[in-house]
A and B are shown apart, each in its own frame.
Chain A
């Protein structure tokens, strides 16, 4: 048993770390550090920098630009990005639609869509959830009716992350509602967001941010050639996509960065007694428990990767566990950060005059609000428990 990275793995980590140090633009680094909202340009600029380096889609086959890294290298890369504080790589194209097209797409579809995803010329979003279909995704109602060489799409998607930036959306739609097994009438369709009949309406969250949207489809005409795999086999595609989660489900690198920041920051903040807050046993013990949970999760994640590397199997329900613990840790860190500033958490960033308020401090409470999403999105933590219960425990 050896918990340390091998020499080669350490060298790889150092290479990635060194490269990020030089190539992550300062303005983007600062925006992340201050929890600023990122524009489409910010996101795509970083995407293109990685694409140029050949590191934007590590898991893709080599011929389409993949890196041939093993699972441990992929994990190291993603965690180093998190630790350095890079803008996120938006997963909808690179880790979701891309792998689906690689697996199920026709040669024409691959040729047409993959280069745009890889190079960051086309911004994708995901059309899964609907107002009545959250955790119970298979109940979705958005309808696509075949009419000649087109589908006519009617319905509504919700929680469409960055839909307002997107050029294209991949959707689960119902092509047959007559079947008793709900999963069987679903298809996977690619839709150009510029098509007439599509309306994007922002959903402003309680932190004041615009991340998610509602997308309405009103007689939207979609060419049949945009269907992925077979009609009615969309659920198979969706399930495949779930197995292609990223390696950094636990977001350990990012949480390590936030923890280091919080420790530094709580060392400067004064408690009621005028001593550094971090010396207050009540605060410090909460912080330590999060730190220890994070240490444990990092080792747990590495243990799973080690198993995967050995068995060659894709991650199973283990990923659910990383999601549960990882998001709990992220939330605890935002909560403690907000708690650390005490009464100064009250001025609201989006309303306060930035000249008079410390932007970082004012960003902490909205971030706390925003991070409540983490235990809800990407399969709520209760759904993750259902998955472990069924897949791992056999209940």
Chain B
């Protein structure tokens, strides 16, 4: 039993935190969010320079072979800073499929480029009406010469506007399968999400595609990778929650009403305490999620732990974000306060990769 990051993990988390505090402070981030593409090539290059784009990938492809726990500190820092770069889409989703299901040739062609920060990816999966059901896919793929062609529409594909390569799910005669699709073979309708990230709808019409993994065998891989990404957003949530708690506490200690700081009021003290308790409980479940996320031995145990974590994270995202705004009063509602942006990210994490209800149902099935 040991809950500390090891020295390397701590050093990495600290250096990411330091870098983001310096170059990704709220004002700098604002400019990136307002820019045309909504992400920063300079920041992306820096993340690659620090080894973050290669962190979870095998040294065979230039990576560092890190586990989900190694990424946990990074994701906490990302949550604190409200990172909008397409990191999760590329490193937590897109390239994970290649690393787990790709052929040697595909890995060689793709992973070194991801590690070096030269290739961004996205996972185009969710379709209209599928909600959180990972098995519900209508897009179809059929053989065309040596390759494949996909037709279908995918919605709210995180990181789609920046992606140079998509991992796309589609059905073949043998069932749900995964494919690689180049950016220019798809049509992307880009937009900004509530939490200021970039996403898009991806339309595919007889789009040229390359099979990734076993035809008809995609669902377990999709579940594995989505569980992995869920563990990462749990850690990101913990970082954002910590910021929300800290900044609210700071506000209680400085804001004065009736001639005293509002932190002297017991009604507010107890609510603040409950926020911190929520944070500690959420952190515990994020630790559980990270420690189970890349254990390939027992898929059921992994899925059960991830769902349990996501239930707690979703509930506590809501609790902490809502209380943070309430305790800030009107100021918390304003766009100029970072806490309102943290509120929006926590709001979206609560229902990213399945809301509490979805994971309650999944947990019960796995029990």
Contacts and interface: CB of A to CB of B under 8 A. Distances in A.
B281 interface: yes
Contacts of B277: 321, 324-325, 388
Interface stretch (B82-90, B176-184, B308-316): B308-316
B276 A288 contact: no
Interface in B267-324: 269-270, 272-274, 276-277, 280-285, 287-288, 290-291, 308, 311-312, 315
Contacts of B360: 284-285, 288-289
Nearest to B285: A296
Contacts of B146: none
Contact of B69 (A1, A300, A310): A1
A1 B231 CA distance: 15
B312 A1 contact: no
A395 B253 CA distance: 7
A313 interface: no
Interface string B239-260: 0000000000100110000000
A303 B287 contact: yes
A195 B216 CA distance: 83
Given A72-B1, A293-B281, A299 B288 contact: yes
Contact of B312 (A3, A284, A292, A388): A292
Interface in A267-315: 281, 284-285, 288-289, 291-293, 295-297, 299-300, 302-303, 306-307, 310
Contacts of B270: 382, 385-386, 389
Interface string B132-163: 00000000000000000000000000000000
Contacts of A388: 273, 276-277
Contacts of B361: 281
Name the residue in A6, A288, A395 with the highest tally of chain B Cβ atoms < 10 Å from its Cβ.
A395
A5 interface: yes
B364 interface: yes
B2 A2 contact: yes
Given A284-B364, A292-B285, A292-B312, A1 B276 contact: no
Contacts of B276: 321, 388, 392-393
Contacts of B69: 1
Interface range for B: 35 or more
Contact of B2 (A281, A293, A300, A306): A306
Interface in B1-44: 1-6, 9
6 contacts: A2-B291, A295-B288, A303-B283, A324-B277, A385-B270, A393-B269
Interface of A: 1-6, 9, 72, 281, 284-285, 288-289, 291-293, 295-297, 299-300, 302-303, 306-307, 310, 321, 324-325, 382, 385-386, 388-389, 392-395
Given A3-B287, A3-B288, A393-B269, 18 more contacts: A1-B3, A1-B6, A284-B360, A284-B364, A288-B364, A289-B360, A291-B308, A295-B284, A295-B285, A295-B312, A299-B285, A300-B280, A303-B283, A306-B2, A385-B269, A386-B270, A389-B273, A395-B269
